[in-house]
Amino acid sequence: MATEWAALSNDLAAAVERAGRSVVAVHARPRFSSSGVIWRPGVIVTAQHTIRREEEITVTLPDGVNRPVTLAGSDPGTDLAVLRLAEPAGEVAAPAAADIRPGHLALAVGRSEDSGVNATMGIISAVSGAWRTWRGGRLDQYIRLDLTMYPASSGAAVTDSTGATLGIATSALSRLAGVAIPAATINRVLDEILSRGHVSRGYLGVGLQPVVLPDHRKGLIVLSVEPGGPAATAGVLIGDILVSVQGKAVADTDDVQTALESSAAGQRVEAGLLRGGEAKPIGIILGERPRRD
């Protein structure tokens, strides 16, 4: 048994060492650094909520050297920020296999300037499909972590028992536990930030409230219409009832956000309305949802 424990201990230490070659300390807030992961050559991803300034951000690389970085962009909805190094350094994180199940061991591998690589271990306690955060973004998969989140754990690499990276950790998206932002979400958001500096999300410009219709269907009554906004321009009125977006029935605001997830500003979407009990299809050219910093 002692030999088996020693082997497990050595394997975990090797996994942390492997992951640590891609993990940096990020200095962008008072008192505590956070962590970040070298996701592509010269590109670091970290947790957006730990970025408290846009200039004079530095990182401590795996070799202990401090380097300045520039903020390429961020997405509060998914709690992701992207930093650029002037010259590539360190190793790019090795991706983990897509098979993630509750009960799998998970390591959060971070870094601080003073202590170097640090790690916390637990398990993946829950896994489900796509999940909308309270900040309005969408994670391609909900991965709940049962491990201790230290100050440097946000932005840390979430790895499997071999040190391969599943995503990055954040403490800002759930009040219950730490969450892993999965690799698929990181790649999707990263591509958009690198191409335009932010993530664009379609915006209708209406205030909605769920209602039950006489035929027992559900819909959303329009309580407010933003003057000059996309819905107002298309002719949507207060009192209209929204029953579908892009041909999909909507019963609550989450349904609307999900229907708009793949639609960018400037794109036309087809909305199904009820006005005075009569069906009224209408096309709306989406605006861009205001960003929340």
Q: Which segments of the chain belong to CATH 2.30.42.10? A: 202-288
DSSP state of 92: P
**DSSP bridge pairs for 82:** 45, 73
CA distances from 3 to 14, 17, 270 (A): 16, 21, 64
Instruction: Kindly report the backbone phi and psi dihedral angles of residue 232, in degrees, each rounded to the nearest multiple of 5, phi listed first.
Output: -60, -45
- The pair phi, psi for residue 79, each rounded to 5°, is 60, 45
Tokens of 174: 């759930």
What residues of the chain score a pLDDT lower than 50?
293
**Alpha carbon distance 279, 284 (integer Å):** 16
pLDDT in the model for residue 14: 92
- CATH number 2.40.10.120 given to 1-199: yes
How far from chain centre, in Å, is Cα 250? 24
pLDDT value, residue 292 = 54
Q: Which pLDDT value is given to residue 51?
A: 96
pLDDT of the residue at 189: 94
CB count, 10 Å around CB of 42?
16
The predicted pLDDT at position 291 comes to 59
Provide the token pair at 13: 């230490």
How far is residue 215's CA from residue 45's CA, in Å, rounded to a whole number?
A: 49
Torsion of CA 188, 191, 194, 197, to 10 degrees: -40
> Can you give the pLDDT at residue 145?
97
Helix (H) or strand (E) holding 196: helix 183-196
Residue ranges, CATH 2.40.10.120, the chain: 1-199
Instruction: Tell me how crowded residue 61 is: count the other CB atoms within 10 A of its CB.
Output: 18
Give dist(CA 11, CA 17) in Å, integer: 10
As a whole number of angstroms, the distance between CA 260 and CA 254 comes to: 10
Residue 174: partners with Cβ closer than 8 Å, 6 or more residues away: 144
- Where are any strands of DSSP class E within 96-197? 105-112, 116-128, 131-132, 138-139, 142-146, 157-159, 165-170, 178-182
Residue that the structure tokens 């008072």 belong to: 30
User: What CATH architecture does domain 202-288 belong to?
Assistant: Roll (2.30)
Query: Residue 52 and residue 73: Cα distance in Å, rounded?
Result: 13
